[in-house]
Amino acid sequence: MSTGANSLLISPAARDALQTWLGHQRALKGAAENTITAYQGDVTDFLAFMTLHKGDSQGLGALAKLTISDMRSWMAKTRGPDVGPRSLSRKLSAVKAFYRWLAEREGFEATAVLSTRSPKFPKKLPRPLAIDAAKAMIDCVEMQSRHPWVAARDVAVLTLLWGCGLRISEALALKGADAPLPDVLRIVGKGGKERVVPVLPAAQDAVAAYLRACPFPQERGAPLFKAVRGGPLAARAISQVMADARMQLGLPATATPHAMRHSFATHLLDAGGDLRAIQELLGHASLSTTQAYTAVDTARLMEVYNSAHPKAAG
C-alpha cells in the first residue's frame, strides 16, 4: 500500500502531530527535503500499520500505549524482500525520533518504542582503488570534458581527494583565499574538528593548472571550485564525472569520490605509513574507523599498539 493511501488510515490527531514534527525537523533541525520525505513515509507507514494491527484508528492516547509486542509485529511485517535490515533500521530510527518528540510534547513514556533494538547488519567496508586504478581515474576525467578548464578542475578535485585524503565536502569548501595552495592546509571536518593536512606538490600543481584555465574570477570568500556557469561546484557533479569514468574504465560502482579518500589512507599504509598518523590526517576520532578505511588486519593493529603504547614499549 502506498504512503498516500496509508495516510488515510491515520487519525487526524496523529496526522497533525506528524506534520508538526516534520515542520520542527525542517525549521529547527535544518533537515534536508529528502530527509523530510523519508521521515514522512516511514512514520506514516508505521502509524498506518498500527491502525490495521490494532483494528482501530490510533489517536495520540492509543499511540502512547504501544507495547514491545506491537513493535515486534511491525518489524516482522515491514521486513521483507524489498526491506533489508539496513532499511528497517533506518525506518525504526525515524519512528524513534518522532516518538521521542511526541512523548516529550504529550507527557508519556515511550519506553516500548525507544527500547526497540535495531536489526543487526554487517557494515559495508570501504573499497579503495588500486594505485593504477586511481591514476587511471584521474587520467580519464581529464579527457572527458569538452571544456579544458572543467577537465583541469575535475583533475584538481580528485587529486585533492587522493593526494590529501580530503572528503569531497572539504575539497569543495576551499575558498579563493586558499589559493595558491600552501604546503599545509588547515581543514575543518566533521563536528568542527580541525586538522592539519600536508599538500603534495602534485595537488598544488593541479589546483594551479585549474586556476590558470578557469574563466571566472576568483574571490577570496567565494568557493575555489566553480561549476560550468560560475556558481559553486556541487558534489554530485564530481560523483557523475567519476561515474562516467568508471564506466569507461570498467571499475565497480564503489569507485566514488569517497573511495579516493579511502585510497589515500590505504596507499599510505601500504607504503609504511603509521596508522596513528593516518588517523590524524583523515580526521578520525576513532582508530577503529581508520582501521576500517584501510582494511588493516588485527596483526597490523597490534603491531602499532605494541610499538606505541607506553606499557607495551616499556
Q: By mean pLDDT, which of 6-20, 22-36, 288-302 is the weakest?
A: 288-302
What is the mean pLDDT of the segment spanning 162-179? Answer: 89
What DSSP designation does 164 have? Answer: H
Cell of 133: 586504478
Any idea where the domains of the chain sit in the sequence? 3-114, 131-311
Q: Is it the case that residue 2 has pLDDT exceeding 60?
A: no
What is the mean pLDDT of the segment spanning 35-41? Answer: 87
261 is known as an active-site residue: yes
Q: What pLDDT is stored for residue 298 in this prediction?
A: 47
77 is known as an active-site residue: no
Confidence class for position 1, pLDDT limits 50, 70, 90: very low
Question: pLDDT: is 205 or 290 the higher one?
Answer: 205
* Residue tagged active-site, from 167, 226, 246, 267: 167
Q: Is it the case that residue 248 has pLDDT exceeding 50?
A: yes
Confidence class for position 55, pLDDT limits 50, 70, 90: confident
190 is known as an active-site residue: yes
Q: What pLDDT is stored for residue 261 in this prediction?
A: 80
Q: What pLDDT is stored for residue 70 in this prediction?
A: 92
CA angle (33 as vertex; 44, 238 as ends), nearest 5: 130
* Cα Rg, the chain, nearest whole Å: 24
Confidence class for position 303, pLDDT limits 50, 70, 90: low
What are 24-29's contacts with CB under 8 Å, separation 24+? 24/101, 25/97
- Torsion from C-alpha of 5, 11, 12, 13, nearest 10 degrees: -140
Q: Is it the case that residue 308 has pLDDT exceeding 70?
A: no
Q: Is it the case that residue 62 has pLDDT exceeding 80?
A: yes
What is the mean pLDDT of the segment spanning 87-109? Answer: 90
* Residue tagged active-site, from 190, 193, 236, 309: 190
Q: Cβ distance 56 to 105 under 8 Å?
A: no
Q: What pLDDT is stored for residue 280 in this prediction?
A: 59
Confidence class for position 144, pLDDT limits 50, 70, 90: confident
Q: Is it the case that residue 131 has pLDDT exceeding 70?
A: yes
Confidence class for position 96, pLDDT limits 50, 70, 90: very high
Query: What CATH superfamily classification does 131-311 receive?
Result: Intergrase catalytic core (1.10.443.10)
Question: pLDDT: is 314 or 138 the higher one?
Answer: 138
Question: pLDDT: is 36 or 304 the higher one?
Answer: 36
Mean pLDDT, the chain, integer: 81
What is the mean pLDDT of the segment spanning 152-166? Answer: 90
Query: What CATH superfamily classification does 3-114 receive?
Result: Tyrosine recombinase, N-terminal domain (1.10.150.130)
Q: Which tens digits make up the pLDDT trace of 261-302?
A: 877 766 555 555 555 555 555 555 555 555 555 554 445 545
* Residue tagged active-site, from 91, 226, 246, 261: 261
* Residue tagged active-site, from 153, 246, 262, 284: 284
Q: Is it the case that residue 304 has pLDDT exceeding 60?
A: no
What is the mean pLDDT of the segment spanning 169-187? Answer: 90
86 is known as an active-site residue: no
Q: Cβ distance 97 to 39 under 8 Å?
A: yes
What are 138-146's contacts with CB under 8 Å, separation 24+? 138/162, 140/245, 140/248, 140/249, 141/241, 141/242, 141/245, 144/241, 144/244, 144/245
Confidence class for position 146, pLDDT limits 50, 70, 90: confident
Q: Is it the case that residue 313 has pLDDT exceeding 70?
A: no
258 is known as an active-site residue: yes
What is the mean pLDDT of the segment spanning 193-218? Answer: 90
72 is known as an active-site residue: no
